Structure 1
């Protein structure tokens, strides 16, 4: 079973210091521009 992590944590792991802003990450998540797509849990994107 895999664990869900927040978009910010994922971006830090994936891009390091060059991670996009939280606003950009949310736009990508809402537009399903990530593979696998992000999931909204409550009011947070995972």
Structure 2
């Protein structure tokens, strides 16, 4: 790298992923949230 900005941009791309990756991660988390439910034998404190 010739500048710190180039190094930063490379790190940012490596660790954040592109837009498709972000979208897939978001969809997976949203689905996990939507399927989240308390079991009949659980209390609110346990949940």
Question: Shared fold by TM > 0.5?
Answer: no
| Structure (1 or 2) with the greater helix fraction | 2
* Greater per-residue strand proportion: 1
Bigger Cα Rg: 2
TM-score, L = length of structure 2? 0.31
**Higher relative contact order (CA closer than 8 Å, sequence separation 6+):** 1
